[in-house]
Amino acid sequence: GRCPGCGGRPPSHGGPAAGMADAEAPARFGPYVRGRELGRGASGTVYLCELRSAAGAAKGSVVPSPATFAAKAIDLRRLRLSARAGRELKKLQREARILKRIPPHENVVRFIDSLEEGSWFFFVLEFVGGGDLFSALVRRPTAAARRPRFRDAEVLHVLRQLVEGLDFLHNHGVIHRDLKLENILVVRQRKHGSNVLCDVKITDFGLSKIVGDGCSLAHSTVGSPRYI
């Protein structure tokens, strides 16, 4: 499944340095303290983390309260051993550049910080504890309960938020290119009359592109195979 905190991708045999033993990220990195593991993906491991001191946060970082976040830890040693090391490093740099240019929005997972510590690179993001929308969907009652998993009003509530989030991203020159149920995180589920509404945020900018940022992939077919 997906990481419940930031939507990290599931393990893949095609990931960086497949077969290399997984290392554990440092217990402390920059001004942060690593907590429990939230999930593992092809490119890294996601941990809960807490801020020790705002004084050590990267220049330009905005550290909200409460200071508990999701930290995606990428082992640069693993990445550099990959057959696609050059491409993976460029992808990492592009993702960091994109995240830094996105201002806060209620329907987009908030970027907090990015930093290197030894042989590790970290993305620090807003922690969203409700899991992804795919998991929320499969946990809903089935047709046997005489109702669809999501009612029309519940679907429309999600779609409105996604349209607002995507419109915000496009207005800031960012094309997501991999929007799917697993890349939509659930902030909360709340009762509204007979409906259960999901408040959501868009996450995972690993395939995103900045409009006008070089050639290429904006005109190529990219995304997750099951959704293309």
Helices (H), the chain: 76-81, 85-101, 133-139, 152-171
Assess whether 167 carries a catalytic annotation: no
Task: State the Cα angle at 70 between 137 and 32, rounded to 5°.
Answer: 170
Catalytic residue among 113, 132, 178, 204: 178
| 165 CB burial (10 A radius; 0-12, 13-18, 19+) | buried
44, two tokens: 């890294």
Nearest one of 97, 7, 5 to 43, comparing CA atoms: 7
Show the beta-strand stretches assigned E in 154-222.
Answer: 174-175, 184-192, 195-202, 209-210
d(CA 83, CA 64): 38
Hey, is 201 helix, strand or coil?
strand
d(CA 52, CA 218): 39
> Three-class SS string for 41-63?
CCCCEEEEEEECCHHHCCCCCCC
Catalytic residue annotation:
178
